[in-house]
Structures are given as structure tokens and as C-alpha cells.
Amino acid sequence: MEEFLPDSWTVYHTHNGPCPYRAIGQWNNLTFYADQLPTETYETLLGKGFRRSGTSIYHPACENCRLCIPLRVHVSSFQPSRSQKRTQRKNQDLRIEHTPVAFREDVFKLYQRYQKYWHQRGNSTSKEEFIEFLIDSPVPSEMILFWLEDELIGVSWIDRLKDSTSAVYFAFEPRAQHRRLGIFSLLHEIEYARRCNRKWHYLGYWVPDSNKMQYKADFHPSEVLLHQIWTPLTKELRHEC
């Protein structure tokens, strides 16, 4: 991957601790940092399998593992499944608001609750860590707020690029887990990308043997990046990966 990046960017081989998706292995990345990035450049990087966390642009580089598979949904062809339609109906009472990415205390508190009760994170994320992860962005980004009357129960972060949109992160109120808000937010993001005439919505990495990542492969039609070639994700291919 280093040969793809301009010489002006310093690429680091970062060690990020235990794999967040699988019970075994260490999480290593090729990483560079950019406070600003042309949208066309980042879109090209997405097409090569890169993702971002704040201003950190990274690509998995784990030893003896290639199971972080980039996945994107073809927006104009997407049709929700029966299960996804039920999730849409279940959340018809929500109000949805798009807003520029900026620090908000209510969003930060929801994120802290989500990390504590859903991911069992013992130590609360600091304001600085939160800003570094989800507020700082080198490309145009938006927050999508999901409201139940006057209660904020979900927030998604997306990047809005020239020909695509890209999911960055989603956090929800743990008490509302029965609503399947992670699925609902992606359905809304795909429809939003359609309204904005974008071709693809990038969902990040799909990890075939990770139960918590299986939902991404349920959005059809989609493509996965295998051996640097975007390939339609068929039922047969899903079982082979």
C-alpha cells in the first residue's frame, strides 16, 4: 500500500492492541495523518480499502490475517429485506436531523453511555478523545441525530464525498436496543445517499467470522474488495469468505 501514497505523507505501521472484531490476533494498521484531504483523494483511498478515524487514515496490515474486507452498497439498486422493512416500520416515530459535525454535550453524553453499557468500557472516554475520534475530520462530514420526541437516542457520523458517502460510526441509547437502531441508521444513510445522487455507500469492514459484523453483508446488492478487485457479494461468496 505504501506505493499508492504520495511521498509527502509519512506512513506508520501502528500497533493498536487486540483485534476489536475477533477473539484472537493483534490489530495492526498502515496509518498516515491528514488534517485536510481532497474529497477525491479520500474517495480513491476508500476504493483501495482505507478507512479513517478522526484525521488518522488507515489500512489493516495484520500478520497472517486478511479478514477485514471492505464492503460498499450500490445505492440506486438497494432494496431492503423484509427484516429491514420491519425495522423501518418500528422506527417510523423517530425524528431525524442532519447537522454539521461539531461538539455537542448531548451527543457526547450519549456516546459515553453507549461505550459504557454496550461495549463495557470501564473508563469514560474523555472529551479530547471524543473530539479526536469523531469531531476532527479531514473531509466533509455530517452527524445524523435520531430523536424520540425530545430524547436523543442515536447518532451516526458519515462522510459526504463526490460520488459516495461513507459510514464512520454509530452510537445509540442502550435502553433503545430493541429498535435495532444500527440497522435503521444504515437504511437511512443509504436512502440519503440515493437522494444525494451518490453511487456507493461504504459500510467499512466486514469480518466474515465476526458475529457482530454479519449485519453488513445483509445489505444488497453490495460489493467487497478482494485481492484489490471490487466483487459482487453473492450468497456463494459470502459462504466462501
Domains of the chain: total? 2
Kindly report the CATH number assigned to the domain that includes residue 90.
3.40.630.30
In contact, 165 and 201? CB cutoff 8 Å: yes
Instruction: Render 109-166 in DSSP notation, one character per residue.
Output: HHHHHHHHHTS--SSPPPHHHHIIIII--SS-EEEEEEEETTEEEEEEEEEE-SSEEE
> What does the mean pLDDT of the chain come to?
93
* In a shared domain, residues 115 and 82: yes
- Domain check: are 89 and 33 in the same one? no
Task: Based on the fold, state whether residues 121 and 22 are members of the same structural domain.
Answer: no
Residue 98 sits in which domain range? Answer: 71-240
Same-domain check for residues 186 and 153:
yes
pLDDT tens, residue by residue, 71-84: 999 999 999 999 99
Q: Which of 48, 68, 88 is the last residue of a domain?
A: 68
Express each pLDDT in 182-206 by its tens digit. 999 999 999 999 999 999 999 999 9
d(CA 155, CA 110): 8
* Boundary residue ending a domain (36, 68, 100): 68
Give per-residue pLDDT as tens, 2-15.
445 555 678 889 99
Q: Which of 68, 96, 111 is the last residue of a domain?
A: 68
Same domain, 113 and 163: yes
pTM of the model: 0.93
Indicate if 126 and 207 belong to the same structural domain.
Answer: yes
